[in-house]
């Protein structure tokens, strides 16, 4: 219930934050909303010696249209994502997903950056970002770079971030007008992580699927971009046979943990059920 001791810093700039993180190394953690990290610290499963609070850094919350993408500041909260007209208009699967994360209080503080960067397999944004082929802008001691969401995750709490690096923004290509989308999440109750969840974004033309991208949440140590499953849908009318192939492909790549949400075999099958339902809902929303 009570965290261990640590030193606290509230840098006013990104450079300062990066400098602190590099200097303090492994024992330092960035603090965004804190609603993933602080619970871990209270049970002492995480005992960082230094916390670098990013909330004092200006300019990390902006939500902007940049070319054919939306650029979302890493410190934008789930609440801000839900209430952004820009995001609702262009990438509605994002607020749909945000509304399924945690509970109202946590959504005021939980940030998109925190949700994508800490490598917690239970988080919903990572698989969604992979589905949307997002890119994470990162700043570190070695300068700025960008990492695709699809190559960001190595294992549980193990990401491509090097020591001292912070995610500053997330850039997401805007799906075409009329795209179909759905985030289908099975969970025990509000506030729970997914037993299984699937993000689906498709485009249709004359009744045929032109593009399909599928992300799967909490079904492995990392989020999963189900590339093969997506391929089974492309060129089809999203008929039962094609969907079944996609479902089988998805079930074959998941490796869920057995926990109190259910045994692995149940969660594997639920991945399939969630995917099936997400495809159906995406189809109903797609134009042409």
Partner 1 sequence: MPKKQISLTVNGRLVEGLVEPRTLLIHFIREQLNLTGAHIGCDTGHCGACTVEMDNMSVKSCMTFALQADGSNITTIEGVANPDGTLSALQEGFRMMHGLQCGYCTPGMIMRAHRLLQENPNPTETEIRYGIAGNLCRCTGYVNIVKAIQYAAAKINGTAFPEAAE
Partner 2 sequence: MNQQTPIDIERSERTDKLQGMGCKRKRVEDIRFTQGKGNYVDDIKLPGMLFGDFVRSPHAHARIISIDTTRAKALPGVIAVLTAADLKPLGLHYMPTLAGDVQAVLAEEKVLFQNQEVAFVIAEDRYIAADAIELVDVVYDALPCIVDPYKSMSPDAPILREDIKDKMVGAHGPRKHPNHIFEWQIGDQKATDEVFSKADVTIKEMFVDHRTHPSPLETCQCIASMDKIKGELTLWGTFQAPHVIRTVVSLISGLPEHKIHVIAPDIGGGFGNKVGAYSGYVCSVVGSIVLGKPVKWVEDRMENLSTTSFARDYHMTTELAATNEGKILAMRVHVLADHGAFDACADPSKWPAGFMNICTGSYDIPVAHLSVDGVYTNKASGGVAYRCSFRVTEAVFAIERAVEVLAHKLGMDSAELRMKNFIKPEQFPYRAALGWEYDSGDYPTAMKKAMEAINYKQLRQEQAEKREAFRRGETREIMGIGISFFTEIVGAGPSKNCDILGVAMFDSAEIRIHPTGSIIARMGTKSQGQGHETTYAQIIATELGIPADDIMIEEGNTDTAPYGLGTYGSRSTPVAGAAIAVAARKIKAKAQMIAAHMLEVHEDDLEWDVDRFRVKGLPEKFKTMKEIAWSAYNSPPPNLEAGLEAVNYYEPPNMTYPFGAYFCVMDIDVDTGVAKTRRFYALDDCGTRINPMIIEGQVHGGLTEAFACAMGQEIRYDEMGNVMGASFMDFFLPTAVETPKWETDYTVTPSPHHPIGAKGVGESPHVGGVPCFSNAVNDAYAFLGAGNVQMPHHPWRLWELGESLGLYK
Give every CB contact of residue 232 below 8 A, 6+ residues apart in sequence. 242, 245, 246, 249
Q: Are the beta carbons of 126 and 159 closer than 8 angstroms?
A: no
Residue 104 vs 178, nearer CB to partner 1:
104
Among 16, 79, 88, 269, binds partner 1 (CB under 8 A): 79
Residue 1 vs 26, nearer CB to partner 1:
1
Residue 194 vs 202, nearer CB to partner 1:
194
List beta partners, residue 262: 259
Which residue stretch of 47-55, 171-179, 265-273, 280-288 sits at the interface with partner 1 (rule: CB under 8 A)?
47-55
Query: Taking CB under 8 A as the rule, does residue 177 contact partner 2?
Result: no
Among 149, 171, 262, 271, binds partner 2 (CB under 8 A): 262
SS3 170: strand
Query: Taking CB under 8 A as the rule, does residue 22 contact partner 1?
Result: no
DSSP notation for 191-222: TPPPSEEEEEEEEEETTEEEEEEEEEESSSSS
Query: Taking CB under 8 A as the rule, does residue 267 contact partner 1?
Result: no
Query: Taking CB under 8 A as the rule, does residue 176 contact partner 2?
Result: no
Nearest to 190 by CA among 265, 102, 121, 252: 102
141-145 contact pairs (CB < 8 A, 24+): 141/18, 141/19, 141/22, 141/165, 144/168
SS3 string of 106-143?
HHHHCEHHHHHHCCCCCCCHHHHHHHCCCEEEEEECCE
DSSP state for residue 34 in the 8-state scheme: -
Q: Least distance (Å) from partner 1 to the CB of residue 105?
A: 4
Among 270, 271, 275, 286, binds partner 2 (CB under 8 A): 270
Sheet bearing 69-73, strands edge to edge: 63-66, 69-73, 166-173, 135-140, 143-148
**Binding-residue pattern over the window 73 to 112 for partner 2, x denoting contact by CB under 8 A:** ------------------------------x---------
Q: Least distance (Å) from partner 2 to the CB of residue 258?
A: 10
Radius of gyration, alpha carbons of the chain: 19
Among 68, 177, 190, 206, binds partner 2 (CB under 8 A): 190
Residues that bind partner 2 (CB under 8 A): 1-2, 4-5, 43-44, 103, 186, 188-192, 195, 260-263, 266-267, 269-270, 273
Residues that bind partner 1 (CB under 8 A): 1-8, 10, 31, 34-35, 38-39, 41-43, 51, 53, 55, 79, 102-106, 108-109, 190-191
């Amino acid at each position: 219930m009570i965290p261990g001791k640590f030193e606290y810093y509230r840098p006013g700039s990104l450079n300062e934050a990066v400098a602190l993180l590099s200097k303090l190394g492994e024992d330092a953690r960035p603090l965004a909303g804190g609603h993933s990290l602080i619970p871990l610290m209270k049970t002492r499963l995480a005992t960082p010696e230094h916390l670098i609070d990013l909330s004092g850094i200006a300019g990390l919350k902006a939500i902007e249209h940049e070319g054919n993408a939306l650029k979302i500041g890493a410190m934008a909260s789930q609440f801000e994502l839900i209430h952004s007209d820009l995001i609702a208009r262009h990438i509605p699967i994002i607020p749909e997903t945000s509304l399924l994360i945690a509970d109202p209080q946590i959504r005021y503080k939980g940030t998109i950056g925190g949700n994508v960067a800490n490598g917690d397999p239970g988080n919903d944004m990572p698989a969604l970002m992979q589905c949307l082929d997002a890119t994470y802008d990162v700043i570190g001691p070695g300068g700025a770079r960008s990492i695709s969401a699809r190559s960001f995750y190595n294992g549980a709490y193990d990401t491509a971030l090097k020591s001292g690096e912070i995610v500053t923004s997330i850039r997401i290509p805007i799906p075409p007008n009329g795209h179909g989308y759905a985030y289908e999440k099975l969970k025990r109750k509000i506030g729970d992580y997914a037993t299984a969840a699937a993000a689906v974004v498709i485009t249709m033309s004359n009744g045929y699927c032109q593009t399909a991208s599928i992300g799967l949440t909490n079904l492995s140590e990392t989020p999963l971009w189900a590339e093969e499953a997506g391929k089974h849908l492309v060129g089809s009318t999203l008929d039962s046979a094609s969907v079944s192939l996609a479902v089988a492909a998805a079930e074959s790549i998941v490796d869920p943990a057995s926990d109190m949400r259910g045994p692995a075999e149940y969660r594997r099958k639920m991945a399939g059920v969630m995917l099936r339902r997400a495809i159906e809902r995406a189809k109903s929303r797609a134009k042409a």
